[in-house]
Amino acid sequence: MLTKTVKLTTLALILTLTLAINVGATHAQVMPVTAHVDRTTVSTDEIVTLTVTIVGETNVPLPVLPHIEGAQIIGRSTASQITITNGKASAEFNFSFRLQPLREGLLTIDPVKVVINGTEFETHAIEVTVVRGTGVAGSSSAPPTPTSRTLSGQDFFVAAEVDNETPYLGEQIAYTVRLYDARSFGRGQRYRAPAFTGFWNIQEDERHTYNTVTAGRRYSVTETSSILFPTVVGELEIDPAVMEISTGFFGGSRSPQASMPVSVTVRPLPLGAPQSFTGAVGSYDISASVDTNDISSSEPVILTISVSGKGNLDVLPEPGWPDMPGWRVFDNPPDTVTYTTSGEFGGKRTYHRVLIPKTSGFLNIPVVEYAFFDPKEERYRTISTRPIAVTVSLDATAQANGFPNAPAKLVIEQVDSDIRHIKSAPSSLSVRAEPLTSRRLYWALWASPIVLLVASAGWRFKERLLLGRGEVDNAAFARNTALSMLQYAKQSDSDHFAASEGALIAYLTTRLDRPTYGLTHDEVSSLLTQGNISPSLAQEVVSLLNLTQDGRFGPAQLGDSVEGVLDQTERLIDELEWEFEQ
C-alpha cells in the first residue's frame, strides 16, 4: 500500500513539474506587452517619451498608465502595423506617451497593466533620472516671449505666430499658440482653434507645457501647434485663437482670452514647371518593385510604386502613369500612412497595380516619373523609378486560347499559276439572232436578288459564329487569369483579401467588357443583372466585395473569414461563368 502511494505521489509531482515547465516556457516565449523610454536621463526642460508596445493581437485595449509622481502627461499618439501571413492576421501597436518632468530627482514609472483576452499582463518598472534644466523647453532655442512692460501684473495672456509668413502655395507651415499663466491654481484651460480658412488642416494638434520668465514674472506656458497647408494664393488672415481659462477658485467661471490675428502672404508657385508636374509640393522619393520577374502568360504581376517624404500626403496627386504596351493594367486604391516628426508632416503613399500580360516574351515596365516643387530649395524637381524587365513564358492554357505570339502552323496556299493561258480569238465575228429568254444573262439578272439574299444570310451567320468564338476565347481568358491570380495568392504570403478583390474585379472587367474598378457595389450589381446574372448571385458578388474591403482595412473584426475567402472567390467565379454561358 505504501509503495502504491509513493508511486501516485511521484506521478503527480512529475505531472505538476511538466505543467509548470510548459507554462513557464509559454510565458518565456510570448511577452505581448513591453515598455521603454527614449532616454533614461532628462532635464526638467525636456520631454521623455514612454512607449508601450503590444504585439500578436489585432484588437487591444488602450493602456492606462499608473499615476506617475513627479511628471505630467502632455501628449499621446498611437501607431500600428497589421500583417496577414498565410491567412493569419497579426499586429503590433505602439502607444506613446509624452511626459513632462516636474522636478529633479528619480522619476519612477510603475508597471503598466494591460488585460488581453481575460489575461492580465504588466511591464517592468522604469526609472528615469531628472536633472536641473535651464528654464527653457527643449534643446532648441527658446520660443519668443513677450517682454512689454504692459504685462506687468498680468496673470495670463495668449500669443500666436506662424514659423513662415510668406509660404508658397501648398507649403507646410506651423501655427503656434501659447497661453502664459502666472497663477499657481485654477489652471483649467479649453482651447478653441481658429477656423483656418484658406488652409488644409486635418492633423491633430500637438501640445506641451514648460516654464519661462518674462516681464519679471514666472509663467507656465501651454503651447499648442497646428500644421497648415495654404490652399489659395494671396493675403490670408488667421482668426484669433481663444483660450477659455478657469478663473474661479473651484473652476466654476471661465474667462476667454484671445490672441491677435496672424497674417500670412501665400506666394504662387514659380513658372517653369515641368510638363509632368501635377501640383505636389514638398520633398519626396519614389521607388518601384514587382513581386516577381518571371511569370507565365496566364499569371499576373503586382507592381508596387511608393512615394514617400514630407508634404501633404493626404492630397498628394498620383504620378503620371506611362503607357504600358504589352500589359493590361488594373489599379487598386492607394494606401497612405502619415506621421509627424519634429513638427513636420510626412509619410508614404503606396500604389498597387495588377499587370496581366497580353503577349509573351520579354516585357518592360517603363520608368514612372514624379515631379514636385521643393519649397526649401525653391525649385522643381523630377524623380523617377528604374525600368523593370519581366520574362513572360507561354503556357499551354494560353496557347490553347489563342494567346498572342503563340506559335501557329504556317499555311501556304497556291493562289494561281505563274502563266495565264491566252484565250483564242473566234473564227467568226457574226452575231446569231437568239431570243432574249434563251440567254443566260437574262435569267441571271432575274436570279441575282435571290442569290444576294442567300449570301447576306450566310455572311451574317458567319459573323455570329466568329463573334461567339471570340466571346468564348475572352471568357476562357478571363476565368483562367482570375483563377491564376487566386492560385498565386494561395502559394504566397500576399494579402488574401486584396488578391480576391483584384481577381474578381479583373474577371468582371473582361467578362462585362467594361472597367468595373471604381464603380460602386450597386453599379456592379446593376451591370451583372443587365448581363442576365440572377439577382441572388449578383448579391453574392456584392457581399464578397464588401468582405474583401472589410478584410483589407479592418481584419481584426473578421475572425477566421480570411481562411476561405480565396476558395469562396473561386466558387463564385465558376457560378458566374455558368450563368454567363446560359
pLDDT at site 485: 76
Q: Coil, strand, or helix at residue 130?
A: strand
Residue range 47-54: mean pLDDT, rounded: 87
* Rounded Cα–Cα distance for residues 68 and 293 (Å): 55
Residue 302 reports pLDDT greater than 80 = yes
Q: What CATH number is given to the structural domain containing 284?
A: 2.60.40
Q: Which residues contact 474 (CB under 8 A, 6 or more apart)?
A: 510, 511, 513
Beta bridge partner(s), residue 392 = 295, 361
pLDDT of amino acid 527? 85
Query: 379 pLDDT band (50/70/90 cuts)?
Result: very high
**Whether residue 425 has pLDDT greater than 60:** no
Mean per-residue pLDDT for 321-337? 89
Q: How many Cβ atoms are within 10 Å of 71's Cβ, its own excluded?
A: 23
Residue 255 reports pLDDT greater than 60: yes
pLDDT score, position 385: 93
Question: Do 162 and 235 reside in the same domain of the chain?
Answer: yes
The grid cell for 463 is: 459573323
Instruction: Kindly compute the dihedral angle of the four CA atoms of residues 402, 406, 409, 410, in this order, to the nearest 10 degrees.
Output: 110
pLDDT tens sequence across 472-509:
456 666 777 778 777 777 776 667 887 888 888 878 88
d(CA 453, CA 460): 11
The residue segments making up the domain with residue 197 are 149-266
pLDDT at 505: 83
- The whole-number pLDDT of residue 46 equals 82
> Which phi-psi region, left, alpha or beta, contains residue 522 (left: φ > 0; alpha: ψ -120 to 50)?
alpha
Model confidence pTM above 0.85:
no
In a domain, 138, yes or no: no
Given pLDDT bands bounded at 50, 70 and 90, which one contains residue 5?
low
Residue 347: inside a domain: yes
On whether both 190 and 106 belong to a single domain, the answer is no
The CATH number of the domain holding residue 185 is 2.60.40.740
Task: State the alpha helices, DSSP H only, in 345-439.
Answer: 396-400
Least confident of 4-13, 178-187, 221-230: 4-13
Q: How confident is the model at residue 252 (pLDDT cuts 50, 70, 90)?
A: low
pLDDT for the residue numbered 423: 53
Q: What is the DSSP letter of 370?
A: E
Kindly tell me the burial class for residue 138, based on how many C-beta atoms sit within 10 Å of its own C-beta (0-12, 13-18, 19 or more): middle
pLDDT band at 399 (very low <50, low <70, confident <90, very high): low
Rounded mean pLDDT of 225-237? 91
Q: Are residues 251 and 202 part of one domain?
A: yes
Q: Give pLDDT tens digits for 509-525.
A: 877 877 776 678 788 88
Sign of CA dihedral 277, 278, 282, 287: negative
Please give the average per-residue pLDDT across 37-54, as a whole number. 86
Distance CA 364, CA 355 (A): 11
Same structural domain, 127 and 164: no
Q: Grid coordinates in use for 55?
A: 504585439
Bridge partners of 116, per DSSP, are 119
Q: What is the average per-residue pLDDT within 131-149?
A: 52
Inside any domain, residue 250 = yes
540 sits in which H/E element: helix 535-553
Domain total of the chain = 4
Write down how long the chain is. 582
pLDDT digits (tens, 9 = 90+) for 401-419: 555 554 444 344 555 555 5
- Given a cut of 90, whether residue 566 has pLDDT beyond it is no
Residue 93: CATH number of its domain: 2.60.40.10
Rounded CA separation 456/451 (Å): 9
DSSP 6-61: HHHHHHHHHHHHHHHHHHHHHHHH---EEEEES-SEEETTS-EEEEEEEES-SS-P
Under 8 Å between Cβ of 199 and 228: yes
One domain, residues 257 and 319: no
Q: Is the pLDDT reported for residue 283 higher than 90?
A: yes
pLDDT of 469 reads 45
- Chain centre distance of CA 287: 15
CA distance 486 to 502: 9
Residues 342 and 243 reside in one and the same domain:
no
Q: Domain boundary residue among 399, 423, 440?
A: 399
Within 492-520, where are the H helices? 496-512
What does the alpha-carbon distance between residue 281 and residue 378 come to, in Å, rounded to a whole number?
Answer: 10
Residue 315 domain-assigned? yes
Co-location of 79 and 55 in the same domain: yes
211 or 87: whose pLDDT is higher?
211
Residues 481 and 564 in one domain: yes
Closest by alpha carbon to 367, among 351, 383, 379? 383
The pLDDT of 215-220, averaged and rounded, is 78
Cα dist from 318 to 73, 99, 454, whole Å = 39, 39, 56
* Least confident segment among 201-205, 281-285, 330-334, 388-392: 201-205
Confirm whether 66 is domain-assigned: yes
User: Would you give the DSSP letter of residue 117?
Assistant: T
283-297, 488-502, 526-540: least confidently modelled range: 488-502
**563 and 479 within one domain:** yes
**Which has the higher per-residue pLDDT, 94 or 305?**
305
- Amino acid 25 reads A
Domain end, chosen from 237, 266, 295, is at: 266
Q: For the chain, first and last CA: distance in Å? A: 81
Closest CA to 211 of 133, 152, 98: 133
**Amino acid 331: pLDDT:** 87
How far apart are alpha carbons 119 and 117 in whole angstroms?
6
Which positions ≥6 away from 296 have C-beta within 8 Å? 392, 393, 394, 395, 398, 484
Same domain, 167 and 107: no
Mean pLDDT, range 241-265, rounded to an integer: 74
What's the rounded Cα separation, in Å, for the pair 220 and 208?
11
Residue written as grid cell 500637438: 206
pLDDT of 215 higher than 80:
no
Query: Residue 432 — pLDDT band, cuts 50, 70, 90?
Result: low
Does pLDDT of 390 surpass 70?
yes
Q: How many CA atoms lie within 13 A of 553 on its CB side?
A: 11
pLDDT band at residue 150, thresholds of 50, 70 and 90? Answer: very low
Q: Return contacts of 435-442, CB within 8 angstroms, 24+ apart.
A: none
Task: From residue 409, give the alpha-carbon distance in Å to each of 397, 403, 406, 412, 489.
Answer: 18, 14, 10, 10, 36
Half-sphere exposure of 251 (CA within 13 A, CB side): 7
Q: Which of 91-95, 343-347, 439-443 has the lowest mean pLDDT?
A: 439-443
- Point out the least confidently predicted range of 35-39, 466-470, 514-518: 466-470
Residues paired with residue 34 on neighbouring β-strands, in sequence order? 53
339 has a pLDDT exceeding 60: yes
Kindly state whether residues 573 and 479 are assigned to the same domain: yes
Distance of alpha carbon 265 from alpha carbon 230, whole angstroms: 10
Higher pLDDT, 248 or 137: 248
Confirm whether 281 is domain-assigned: yes
Averaged pLDDT of the chain: 75
Residue 147 banded pLDDT, cuts 50, 70, 90: very low
Domain stop point among 72, 103, 131: 131
pLDDT at residue 366, as a whole number: 93
Q: How many Å is the maximal CA-CA distance in the chain?
A: 144
Cell of 541: 458578388
Cβ proximity of 160 and 177 under 8 Å:
yes
What is d(CA 344, CA 539) in angstroms, rounded to the nearest whole number? 46
Higher pLDDT, 57 or 68: 68
Looking at the chain, the whole-number percentage of residues with pLDDT higher than 70 is: 67
β partners of residue 192: 242
Mean pLDDT across 98-125 = 86
Q: How confident is the model at residue 77 (pLDDT cuts 50, 70, 90)?
A: low
261 and 302 part of one domain: no
**CA 484 to chain centroid:** 24
* 6 within domain boundaries: no
Residue bearing cell 507656465: 220
Place of cell 497612405: 336
Please, which residues have CB within 8 angstroms of residue 461's CB and are 6 or more apart in sequence?
none
C-alpha cell belonging to residue 383: 524623380
Asked if residues 147 and 174 have their Cβ atoms less than 8 Å apart, the reply is no
The pLDDT of residue 253 is above 80: no
8 in a structural domain: no
